A = this chain, B = another copy of it.
Amino acid sequence: MKGFIEYILQFGNLNQQQIDLISRKATVLELPKDEYFSEAGKIAQRVGFISDGIIRVCYYNNQGEEITKYFIEENNLVVDLESFDNEIPSSAYVQAITDCKLLLFSKKDWNELLDTIIGWDTIVHKIISKALRQKVERRSPLVSEDATTRYLKFLEIYPNVVNRIPLSYIASYLGVTQSSLSRIRKNIS
């Protein structure tokens, strides 16, 4: 909970009463490795804050290949925005790829907080807009680089992820095959 409070206070000020109000709505969710936080086809109903573990967002492309769109590390919000906001079925799976500990907010509670706490909506907007910008900034440059450069960029962006998850997830994030990535890794060292 402490990490979450610190996180939100980076984006704006809240008094102790407001913080308590928010805290009281949070529940703890332990999500074991490989389980889903939300699934394609379903309407996202909750917002999470990862206090421990790594989550990925992935989908299946037209060839049936599983593509990892991005990773989300500790101390970040996780929510399938498009689905959550517009109440439409999601097109992606949000999956724990290590054992995870989350703070959880139901959609009802989340909206209640938005209506109740003055300034909370601004904070949420800032958080979400920063997260979206970050996704663009991280994924976009991969398009124009060769596989080795892409892997190096991955290492820069997610320095704490590489040793905790299977190589195949990284390969699908970078758009290379697992064997190519394995060779790339050999060449680098």
Contacts and interface: CB of A to CB of B under 8 A. Distances in A.
B174 A143 contact: yes
A136 B174 CA distance: 15
A133 B175 contact: no
A128 B61 CA distance: 27
Nearest to A173: B143
Interface in A96-145: 125, 128-129, 132-133, 135-136, 139-145
Interface string A46-70: 0000000000000001000101011
Interface residues on A, range: 20 to 34
A139 B140 CA distance: 6
A145 B175 contact: yes
B69 A140 contact: yes
A81 interface: yes
B141 A67 contact: yes
As for how many copies of this chain the complex holds, the number is: 2
A133 B81 contact: yes
A65 B129 contact: no
A58 to B, nearest CB: 11
A18 interface: no
Interface string A143-166: 111000000000000000000000
Chain B CB within 10 A, most for which of A136, A142, A143, A145? A143
B61 A144 contact: yes
Nearest to A66: B144
Contacts of A136: 132, 135-136, 139
20 contacts: A61-B144, A61-B145, A67-B144, A69-B140, A81-B129, A82-B133, A125-B129, A128-B129, A129-B129, A132-B132, A135-B136, A135-B140, A139-B139, A139-B143, A142-B143, A143-B143, A143-B173, A143-B175, A144-B172, A144-B175
